[in-house]
Structure 1
Amino acid sequence: MVELDPYQEGCPTRRILDLIGGRWTVLIVGALSDGSMRFSQLMRRVEGISQKMLTQTLRALERDGLVVRTVTAEVPVKVEYRLSPAGRTLIEPLRALERWSVDHYGGVAESQSDYESRLAG
């Protein structure tokens, strides 16, 4: 059995960390935490995401077994996305990141302003 250590260069877990640590993944998992959604619903819920980025992120999440894509043979075809059992395990950790960003925004913004002032001064 290979020992996985994300601190080592070349560790395959780094690709997973890149995916789940991305802004769009955090928001998509959050949006899907209440249940399945169609692509257009996700586009409306996650404001600012491009169609291309939503497609790429959903494909990556599906490839890694975190999202399940269901196609219903109707006219028109209905495609829905939902979190898999593995994807549901990400809800709480990613929600914690979301809460942290809201709770600490003021301090981070102040630090950024202070930093920019020191660089300019």
Structure 2
Amino acid sequence: MKENSLYVYRWLLLDCKREFYQFNHVLRVLELVWINSISNICISSSIINNRSLFTIFVCISILQEDRQLIFSYTNEEDLHKYFFSSSSSSSRSHRSTKRILQRSQINYSNYILSQK
């Protein structure tokens, strides 16, 4: 289990560097991931298996934020450029980062509440 978590955090760090171009945005995302991981351990031992779920909600929120852009691509090549280049992150503003994190927290909280 620990090895899997390490992989997830390495993956998240790389994605954060790509998706959130500004370093302070990357730090904020990682801080929230860490806080949510720790809070789950403190809340209940039954939720320990869900520690990495917040990272998934961050990823989902990024896709939701960029949804219109993703759907606007008409061919597969453009879509590959979006997913495999860092050009999408350079235009990400502080507001969009804030929206992504807020959406992630709301969706994650709703999920945790629905599991009780």
TM over 0.5: no
Higher relative contact order (CA 8 A, sep 6+): 2
Q: Which has the higher helix share?
A: 2
- Structure ID, larger Rg: 1
Query: Please, what TM-score do these two structures have when normalized by structure 1?
Result: 0.27
Query: Please, what TM-score do these two structures have when normalized by structure 2?
Result: 0.27
